[in-house]
Amino acid sequence: MRTEDTVSVTAAEFQRSIGKYQDVALTQPVTITKNGRDRTVLVSAEEYARLKRRDRRALAASELSERQRESIRSAAVPSHFASLDEELKDWSP
């Protein structure tokens, strides 16, 4: 979400015109500020559901089945991507 795609409003203004900003949130996020700082963001129920579908759950390797662990161990980068190794040649963590 880019900041230019959002509407920013103070908490006081939001309270005065909550219905207006609920309508705005149907088409773009509404950032609600308090003391000049972003505090909350109001989004449509549809956008919230889309974001929740994108949630990912991290697993420990021990939670994977043996078949899943073997699939990871045997995974290989397709040969047509071998040229990308050159981009990592000088990389260091």
Domain count, the chain: 1
In a domain, 9, yes or no: yes
Which residues are CB-contacts of 51 (< 8 A; sequence separation ≥ 6)? 43
In a domain, 85, yes or no: no
Residue 63 and residue 55: Cα distance in Å, rounded? 18
* CATH number of the domain enclosing 12: 3.40.1620.10
In a domain, 39, yes or no: yes
In a domain, 28, yes or no: yes
φ, ψ at 15 (rounded to 5°): -65, -35
Amino acid in the structure at residue 8: S
Picking from 11, 71, 21, the residue whose alpha carbon sits closest to that of residue 42 is: 21
Which residues are CB-contacts of 5 (< 8 A; sequence separation ≥ 6)? 28, 29
Task: Judge if pTM exceeds 0.95.
Answer: no
Whole-number pLDDT of residue 2: 56
Higher pLDDT, 32 or 61: 32
In a domain, 40, yes or no: yes
Q: Is the pLDDT of residue 38 over 90?
A: yes
In a domain, 12, yes or no: yes
Instruction: Supply the range of the domain harboring residue 32.
Output: 3-44
In a domain, 54, yes or no: no
pLDDT tens-digit profile of 55-90? 887 889 899 999 999 999 999 989 999 888 888 888
The strand pair at 37-42 and 30-34 is best described as antiparallel
In a domain, 31, yes or no: yes
